[in-house]
Amino acid sequence: MNDRQKEYFRAKLLAWKDEILRESKLTLQALQEENVNHPDLADRASSETDRAIELRARDRQRKLISKIDAALQRIEDNSYGYCEETGEPISLKRLEARPIATLSVEAQERHEKREKVYRDE
């Protein structure tokens, strides 16, 4: 991977991370402002369910930030774009679609097949 490609993916990852952090701040503000006590039990249950779903989504995004940080670190140490399992280059199309990818398509498919086999047992 050349320097221009690395810079492209670094910028893409940083923009993605900034977007997630911005959305998280908005969610926190909305949750703090929505501290309404609903008199109706159904409204309260609905509000609590919405809040739980939003918090679960934010937790997934928090985990995604750590994967983005790991990808940025791989760019710094020149291991970005190489499959962790085979050492072969990961295709640029795959990295464009999933910039945090650590496995090539083939290695990912093998990994998912093994997971499916163990899950089915």
Alpha-carbon span 14 to 31, nearest angstrom: 26
* Residue 78 to residue 91: CA distance in whole angstroms: 16
Task: State pLDDT tens for residues 76-102.
Answer: 999 999 999 999 999 999 999 999 999
Residue 68, pLDDT > 70, answer yes
Q: Can you give the pTM of this predicted structure?
A: 0.76
Q: Which pLDDT does position 51 carry in this prediction?
A: 78
Nearest C-alpha neighbor of 12 from the set 95, 110, 121, 85 = 95
Q: Could you tell me which residues are beta bridge partners of residue 89? A: 82
- Supply the DSSP symbol for 89: B
Domains (range + CATH), the chain? 1-80 (1.20.120.910), 83-121 (no CATH)
DSSP 8-state code for residue 103: S
